[in-house]
Amino acid sequence: MPDQPGKSAIEVRGVRKVFGTGDAQVAALDTVSVSIRENEFFTLLGPSGCGKTTLLRLIAGFDFPSEGEILLHGHDIAPLPPFKRPVNTVFQSYALFPHMTVAENIGFGLEMLGKPKTEIKARVAEMLKLVKMEALSARRTSQISGGQQQRVALARALAPQPKVLLLDEPLSALDYKLRKEMQIELKRLQHQTGITFIFVTHDQEEALTMSDRIAVMSAGKILQVGTPWDIYDRPAERFVADFIGETNFLTAAITGIGNGKARATLKSGVTIDATVAEGFQPKANATLVVRPEHAKLTGGKGDLSGTVENIVYFGTDTHIHVQLDSGEAFTVRQQNTRSAGCGFERGDKVGVSIGNDAAQVLRD
């Protein structure tokens, strides 16, 4: 991804964050660089402990990097305390002030910025309207529901009109339906305010549905940055492919590379075309990834052959688990229709045909 200096809202350059000293040293972030564009819904996705929250806290200013720079519109903000950064945070626990009302919470940032009372009042009213909480402005934060607290936290962080809004797993405490609602709400707010959102989550579905771009993190490193489509269909590494969605991994011999494409010979002896991950170093054997919905089961011969092991019905689709003759496992996802069953039974000898442009060669 080429950097576009000047266009990026946040630019993280070679940031390391080490906790502890001596032997107990742990690198929570290991030389991370990423550029987040203006007006972008950018998601940091990864399992717990991958460093995504650490990166967010460095941008917010609650922690300071051991090494590296963090630029906000081209200015290094890494040494600034949080109250000098035009960046606001929506906390995972919301962290609403329990001794203040909803309106006082929302107005707090503006008050601290020394804005005149009339302006604060107008802006708070505007924010209450934005998050549809007008009726509850005089309530204490302990007297409103979790979803409402979430809205207040959002309004409080948006009220001072930050350049960048940081969201630390803000939806994880909500139940499923409310979470879906808030996902749409967040997208709407981001669109309406035009503020750059940096969103931290461990939920891959949330990341795929909401983000303009996603950075997948693991063990203190960013493994891949790209659009949801990039991340899902063209994963660069095994971890990325495995973390997002369901995946089949196949070992293949690489017989030719050119133009971002590779000729890969599968264990069954069939050779197929595959796209190649960025940063792939030519080698004899590599791992191929094929999404279950990009392969088809056939009664006769396919690119691979095997035996149906298990059939799992999911309502919208059916997952058919196949034990390949090569010893590898393979899952095919097949869309359901109302009239017919999936057409296969356990123990059936089947062929698997991999669609054109369905396979990607991983770099690790």
Of residues 10 and 320, the one with the C-beta less far from other proteins: 10
Site residue total, other proteins (CB under 8 A):
26
Residue from 100, 178, 257, 311 binding other proteins (CB under 8 A)? 100
Run of H or E including 239: helix 238-243
Interaction of residue 95 with other proteins, rule CB under 8 A:
yes
Is there binding between residue 98 and other proteins (CB under 8 A)? Answer: yes
Smaller CB separation from other proteins, 130 or 295: 130
Give the Cα separation of 43 and 4 in Å (integer): 19
Helix 102-112 with 146-158: angle, nearest 10 deg = 20
**Interacting span for other proteins (CB under 8 A) from 45-53, 95-103, 208-216, 295-303:** 95-103
Instruction: Give the nearer residue to other proteins in terms of CB position, either 87 or 231.
Output: 87
User: Which residue, 160 or 235, has its beta carbon nearer to other proteins?
Assistant: 160
Distance CA 208, CA 359 (A): 20
* Identity of residue 236: A
Q: Is 357 left (phi over 0), alpha (psi -120 to 50) or beta?
A: left
24 scored as a contact of other proteins (CB under 8 A): no
Q: Which is nearer to other proteins, 51 or 61 (CB)?
A: 61
- Of 93 and 209, nearer to other proteins (C-beta) is 93
287 binds other proteins (CB under 8 A): no
Chosen residue from 31, 38, 80, 91 binding other proteins by CB under 8 A: 91
The pairing of strands 285-290 and 248-258 is antiparallel
Is residue 99 involved in binding other proteins (CB under 8 A)?
A: yes
User: DSSP letters along 210-264, please?
Assistant: H-SEEEEEETTEEEEEE-HHHHHHS-SSHHHHHHSS--EEEEEEEEEEETTEEEE
**φ, ψ at 250 (rounded to 5°):** -130, 140
Minimal distance, residue 78 CB to other proteins, in Å: 16
Pick the binder of other proteins from 14, 79, 81, 299 (CB under 8 A): 81
Token duo for residue 176: 């499923």
Nearest in space to 96 (alpha carbons), one of 134, 137, 140: 140
Tell me if 183 sits within 8 A of 171, measured CB to CB.
yes
Q: Does 88 contact other proteins by CB under 8 A?
A: yes
Tokens 């959002």 -> residue: 154
Residue 82: other Cβ atoms inside 10 A: 15
By CB under 8 A, is residue 19 in contact with other proteins? Answer: no
Region 113-172 residues binding other proteins, contact defined as CB under 8 A? 113, 140, 156-157, 160
Q: Measured from the CB of residue 149, what is the shortest distance to other proteins in angstroms?
A: 13
Site string (57-76) toward other proteins, x via CB under 8 A: ---xxx--------------
CB of 191 to other proteins, least distance (A): 23
**Do the Cβ atoms of 43 and 201 come closer than 8 Å?**
yes
Helical spans, DSSP H, in 61-163: 102-112, 117-130, 146-158
Residues lying near other proteins in the complex (CB under 8 A): 60-62, 81-83, 87-89, 91, 93, 95-101, 108-109, 112-113, 140, 156-157, 160
